Amino acid sequence: MTGTAASAIRTSLRDRLFEYAERRLPALTRLKRVESLPIRLDRHRIYVLPTRFGLMLSLLLLVMLLGALNYNNNPALLLTCLFAAAAYQSVFAAFATLNRLDVTALRAEPCHAGDEMYFSIHFHIATRPRHSLRLRAVDAEIAFDLDRDSAATLRIHAPQRGWLRPARLRLCSEYPFGLFEVWSWINPDFAALVYPRLESNPPPLPRSGAQAQQLADRSSGDELAALREYRSNDPPRAIAWKASARRDELLVKEFETPRGHEVVLDYATLRGLAHEDRISRLAAWVCLAEAARLPYALALPQTRIDAGLGADHRHACLRALALAPGAAP
């Protein structure tokens, strides 16, 4: 118990020190300035410090040095000097790992709040391959090598809807021998959209009584408009089996839904729920309706999106939900 309390205090102290450092020394942490891509790492923004292991090794080298000097043993001194020089010069190899490295692009697929977002950071290397790089965001870290221009993908936890900034990224390496850590802060001008959290067991889509009846007995109500080729997400019940048997390929019945038959997902109808819960449920309904291929419209207090279907429409609806202002006053 006391241990966790102590570590909590240490963490908060560390955070506060860090904040202070960032206020006073923006150049050191690069938090202040959001940069536009591409970002080139150079000596103005690459920092190096010995690791704990490096300090330990230097202590050992000191002992070896003293021993060799004391016994006036020149071969031993030569060996010590050689090892020390190799260890010391590894600082340049460490530096060269980050030097002239270009961050060319960032990409992220939208995800739902509570999930993990996949950020990919694209690098361009002008000269030699880079080894043993590590990229760290707030709570995620990955290790990778760059043999040619390629990307590293970082999984970041997305806690809430809206724009997610990866904040600053720490690109670091202990190449080649783990004696020095070289690092650079990257704070690219980039934000990814996080869709609202999906309600886990949403109620069925809201419909009027007539609509529900039509859904149960679709073939009588809707007018068959055309037959088309099967696409991979079509529900099995829409397949026109007889026509398919005649044509030797799967055909799907396409119905023309009369206007007014679309699902309207209205924020206002969800009384009795908290603001975020409403948005969660609407988002879940959007996904349900899209999966059921029912045209849907979205009505929010500030915005209204007309009925439609398809990935773009879904994205527009989820984006509107994601960016909806917080709890209504």
Q: Which positions touch another protein (CB under 8 A)? A: 43, 53, 56-57, 60, 63-86, 88-90, 92-93, 95-96, 99-100, 126-127, 131-132, 143, 145, 174-179
* C-alpha to C-alpha distance for 117 and 156, rounded to whole angstroms: 5
- CA pseudo-torsion sign 262, 265, 271, 277: positive
* C-alpha to C-alpha distance for 248 and 221, rounded to whole angstroms: 28
Grouping H, G, I as helix, E, B as strand and the rest as coil, residue 117 is strand
Closest CB 150 distance from another protein, rounded Å: 16
Task: Yes or no: say if 118 and 158 are a contact pair by the CB < 8 Å rule.
Answer: no
Q: Which is nearer to another protein, 13 or 25 (CB)?
A: 13
Task: Yes or no: say if 145 and 131 are a contact pair by the CB < 8 Å rule.
Answer: yes
Closest CB 245 distance from another protein, rounded Å: 54
- DSSP assignment string, 177-238: TSSEEEEEEE-BS--EEEEPPPPSSPPPPP--HHHHHHHHTHHHHSEEEEEEE--TT--GGG
Q: Which is nearer to another protein, 173 or 257 (CB)?
A: 173
Q: Which is nearer to another protein, 74 or 269 (CB)?
A: 74
Q: Which is nearer to another protein, 45 or 207 (CB)?
A: 45
Closest of 28, 22, 55 to residue 183, by C-alpha: 28
Closest CB 43 distance from another protein, rounded Å: 7
Closest of 193, 190, 191, 157 to residue 318, by C-alpha: 193
Task: Yes or no: say if 132 and 88 are a contact pair by the CB < 8 Å rule.
Answer: no
Q: Which is nearer to another protein, 57 or 156 (CB)?
A: 57
Reading the block at residue 45, the tokens are 């923004």
Closest of 206, 178, 170 to residue 47, by C-alpha: 170
Q: Which is nearer to another protein, 11 or 89 (CB)?
A: 89
Closest CB 188 distance from another protein, rounded Å: 22
**93 — phi, psi (to 5°)?**
-65, -40
Q: Which is nearer to another protein, 99 or 120 (CB)?
A: 99
Contacts 24+ apart (CB under 8 A), 107-110: 107/151, 108/164, 108/190, 108/192, 110/192, 110/193, 110/194, 110/195, 110/315, 110/318
Q: Which is nearer to another protein, 56 or 328 (CB)?
A: 56
